[in-house]
Chain A
Amino acid sequence: MLLQQIVNGITIGSLYSLVALGLTMVYGIMRVLDIANAGAYTLGAYLGVWAYTRTHSIIIALLAGVGGAAITGYLFQRAVYTPIKKVADPIVPLVASIGLFIVMEDLFRLIAGPYTITFPVHLPLNRLTLGSVIITGTQAVILLVSAFLFLLLWILLNKTKIGLAWQATAQDVETAMAMGINTRSVVAFAFILGYAFAALAGILVAIHYNAVFPTMGDIPSYKMLAIVVLGGLGNPLGAVVASMVVGLAEALVAGYIGSFLPTDAIAFLALIILLLVRPQGLFASGGDAR
């Protein structure tokens, strides 16, 4: 029972971390709390199900969802975030991103309809039974894909030129520019990667619950903020750890204590208490607490 809850928790945590990673990548560079990132999550799911029903290929569905979201991320960055960033007050990009998110959700509703669409993928994987623990096919896929992506991101950030440039820019934009780093392409890189990760998470969640609907990004939109702050704003490793903590806490609370408050409220209650004790989040952060 306990092991089963832990496996469930890690599965949820993996999904959270895919979205949280995108958000924290963008924050690390732009210092923008990008609520619209949760729109990319829904966009990925819709593009994925659209491509899947036409081609019945999960690979094409993934490519369509991730590609579409990456292009959207790039366009948002060029058309909205970079021009707005010249304004000093951080509330301006935040309100703009809330606006973008509202527009995206309403477009999904208007174009695809307000109802839930199924995502009928049959993965060629049987459920695994390890002692008393059951891992379903989709759970295994989620865990494997997430592990692969964490590795990929780690290599990207630590072994490639653009990834090192991201780290340098996240630490200090002006010094990075003085060192000849093209911060414009770093910003584009962060948005493309951030939106692609969110879209991938959206597709996996849609397959996991066999459901795509216009407001599926609502809960991630604010819960990811809590997770990203827990992990220290702009800290990718912290975001993954915080996602796992929240995923496990939710699974264990749901499994053992039952709900005295809705799970989302619990996440935020924990966040507020934690922030009062450690104002900079759980981990040393690239973010600016001042």
Chain B
Amino acid sequence: MNYWAVLATTVGIWVLLALSLNIITGEAGQPNIGHAAFFGIGAYTSAILNTKYGVDFWGALIVAIAVSALVGAVLGLISMRLRNDFLAITTIGLNFVTVAVFQTVHYFGGAMGIGGIQPPRIGGLAFGTLEIAGLIWVVVALVVILNRHLQKAWFGYALRAIRDDEAAAAAMGIDVRRYKVLAFVIGTGLAGLAGSIYAHFMTFISAGDFGFNISVTILAMVVLGGRGSIPGVMLGGIVLGMAPEVFRFISDYRLLVFGSILVLVMRFFPSGLLGQGSRLQELLTGFIRREGAGARVR
């Protein structure tokens, strides 16, 4: 039971991270290859508030979201000035700098990391693994509901217009700066939320948990699943999140398999498995239409 709860929590955190990056990279089309930095900022904020200042999980959670979103807003403003590949490289840089600061600055625990983080509690009840698994999936469900509403609202249309052609979007009267920054704020805030839950779930964190390879994994989930597609991104998060367990029997070849999947999917399904216009997506929607069920085409 405990094993499954731990797995469910881990996969839930991955799905939340993938959903959060999807708002920035999938929907607004802004490359972010340093998303783990925000995951880390949330985790460290929460851990420091909890261990050094005695703030409980719920208070620390709110501050962690706020701090991550604030740094995200700065990156959003930067994205007004730096586009495409330049922005991509800046986000990689941000990830390396953040990890280096966590690793070397004594206040952040240095190379030792931060231990002794308390699990969440309500009244007298301290959360066990099962409760945390429940918490993370409730959060995922809320985020999906919110995200679906945003996609259908003006916000979602504005983001997709910016993704497809920023100059045209601006010419149509869309406030590009406002929507871009908002996309970064929501996406990075959610990553901070994931980080806070992660810190209180693990009770010990160190800089290595938030490195560049984590950013690559989150990006892979979004891109493999299908940029902009909520079911696609969730599928990507679940499949890649469970991969270390499923492929345990070939653990020595795990990276080889992971890299090959990245190359092959990009080569043959460039918009991801369930992304807009992918072969699988067309096949599925075609099938649903024929069955007469309400097809949802985006």
Interface residues of A (CB under 8 A from B): 31, 33, 79-80, 83-84, 87, 89-96, 98-107, 110, 222, 225-226, 229, 233, 260-262, 264-265, 268-269, 271-272, 275-276, 279, 281, 287-290
- B43-79 to A contact mask, C-beta < 8 Å, 1/0: 0000000000000000000000000000000000010
Interface size on B, residues (CB 8 A): 44
Q: Does B93 contact A226, Cβ atoms closer than 8 Å? A: yes
Q: How far is the CB of B227 from chain A (nearest CB, A)?
A: 8
Distance, CA A110 to CA B29, complexed state (A): 36
Q: How far is the CB of A225 from chain B (nearest CB, A)?
A: 5
Q: Does A262 contact B267, Cβ atoms closer than 8 Å? A: no
Which among B31, B78, B99 is the interface contact of A91 at CB below 8 angstroms?
A: B31
- Most A C-beta atoms less than 10 A away, residue of B81, B92, B101: B92
Q: Which residue of A lies closest to B216 (CB)?
A: A98
Does B84 interact with chain A (Cβ within 8 Å)? yes
- 9 nearest CB pairs, A to B: A99-B262, A102-B259, A265-B100, A268-B93, A103-B259, A96-B266, A99-B263, A106-B256, A106-B255
Query: Given A229-B89, A262-B100, A272-B93 in contact, is the A99-B253 Cβ separation under 8 Å?
Result: no
Q: Does B255 contact A99, Cβ atoms closer than 8 Å? A: no
Q: Does A275 contact B90, Cβ atoms closer than 8 Å? A: yes
Q: Which residue of B lies closest to A80 (CB)?
A: B267
Does B287 interact with chain A (Cβ within 8 Å)? no
Does B223 interact with chain A (Cβ within 8 Å)? yes
Would you give 18 A-B contacts (Cβ < 8 Å), ordered by A? A33-B85, A79-B267, A87-B270, A89-B270, A90-B31, A90-B84, A91-B31, A100-B263, A103-B256, A103-B260, A225-B92, A229-B85, A260-B104, A265-B99, A271-B90, A272-B94, A275-B82, A276-B82
Which among B227, B258, B262 is the interface contact of A96 at CB below 8 angstroms?
A: B262
- Most A C-beta atoms less than 10 A away, residue of B101, B103, B227, B256: B256
Counting residue pairs across A and B whose Cβ atoms lie within 8 Å, the total is 135
Which among B104, B253, B260, B261 is the interface contact of A261 at CB below 8 angstroms?
A: B104
Q: Does B270 contact A84, Cβ atoms closer than 8 Å? A: yes
Distance, CA A217 to CA B7, complexed state (A): 32
Q: Does B104 contact A92, Cβ atoms closer than 8 Å? A: no
Q: Does B97 contact A287, Cβ atoms closer than 8 Å? A: no
Hey, which chain A residues are within 8 Å of B256, CB to CB? 102-103, 106-107, 110
Distance, CA A267 to CA B252, complexed state (A): 33
Query: Given A84-B267, A268-B93, A279-B86 in contact, is the A99-B260 Cβ separation under 8 Å?
Result: yes
Hey, which chain B residues are within 8 Å of A79, CB to CB? 267
Hey, which chain A residues are within 8 Å of B92, CB to CB? 222, 225, 268
Query: Given A100-B259, A102-B259, A103-B256 in contact, is the A271-B93 Cβ separation under 8 Å?
Result: yes
Distance, CA A113 to CA B42, complexed state (A): 37
Which among B83, B104, B227, B255 is the interface contact of A262 at CB below 8 angstroms?
A: B104
Which among A89, A95, A222 is the interface contact of B262 at CB below 8 angstroms?
A: A95
Distance, CA A160 to CA B97, complexed state (A): 42
Does B184 interact with chain A (Cβ within 8 Å)? no
Q: Does B29 contact A89, Cβ atoms closer than 8 Å? A: yes
Hey, which chain A residues are within 8 Å of B83, CB to CB? 289-290
Distance, CA A106 to CA B38, complexed state (A): 28
Q: Does B93 contact A269, Cβ atoms closer than 8 Å? A: yes
Distance, CA A162 to CA B179, complexed state (A): 45
Distance, CA A27 to CA B69, complexed state (A): 33
Query: Given A87-B270, A269-B93 in contact, is the A110-B104 Cβ separation under 8 Å?
Result: no
Q: How far is the CB of A39 from chain B (nearest CB, A)?
A: 10
Query: Given A226-B93, A272-B94 in contact, is the A92-B85 Cβ separation under 8 Å?
Result: no
Q: How far is the CB of B77 from chain A (nearest CB, A)?
A: 10
Q: How far is the CB of B164 from chain A (nearest CB, A)?
A: 9
Hey, which chain A residues are within 8 Å of B261, CB to CB? 99
Q: Does B97 contact A265, Cβ atoms closer than 8 Å? A: yes
Distance, CA A84 to CA B262, complexed state (A): 13
Does B219 interact with chain A (Cβ within 8 Å)? yes
Query: Given A92-B223, A262-B100, A268-B96 in contact, is the A276-B81 Cβ separation under 8 Å?
Result: yes
Distance, CA A233 to CA B84, complexed state (A): 12
Distance, CA A225 to CA B259, complexed state (A): 20
Hey, which chain B residues are within 8 Å of A287, CB to CB? 85
Does B25 interact with chain A (Cβ within 8 Å)? yes
Does B202 interact with chain A (Cβ within 8 Å)? no
Q: Which residue of B lies closest to A222 (CB)?
A: B92
Q: Which residue of A lies closest to B224 (CB)?
A: A95
Q: Which residue of A lies closest to B256 (CB)?
A: A106
Which among A87, A93, A102 is the interface contact of B255 at CB below 8 angstroms?
A: A102
Q: Does A96 contact B263, Cβ atoms closer than 8 Å? A: yes
Query: Given A33-B89, A80-B263, A93-B266 in contact, is the A106-B253 Cβ separation under 8 Å?
Result: yes
In addition to A103-B255, A262-B100, 18 A-B residue pairs with Cβ atoms within 8 Å of each other are A79-B267, A80-B267, A94-B88, A95-B219, A96-B263, A96-B266, A98-B262, A99-B260, A103-B259, A106-B253, A106-B259, A110-B256, A222-B96, A226-B93, A233-B85, A271-B93, A275-B82, A279-B86
Q: How far is the CB of A187 from chain B (nearest CB, A)?
A: 17
Q: Does A225 contact B89, Cβ atoms closer than 8 Å? A: yes
Q: How far is the CB of A130 from chain B (nearest CB, A)?
A: 36
Query: Given A96-B266, A106-B256, A110-B253 in contact, is the A91-B223 Cβ separation under 8 Å?
Result: yes
Q: Does B266 contact A84, Cβ atoms closer than 8 Å? A: yes
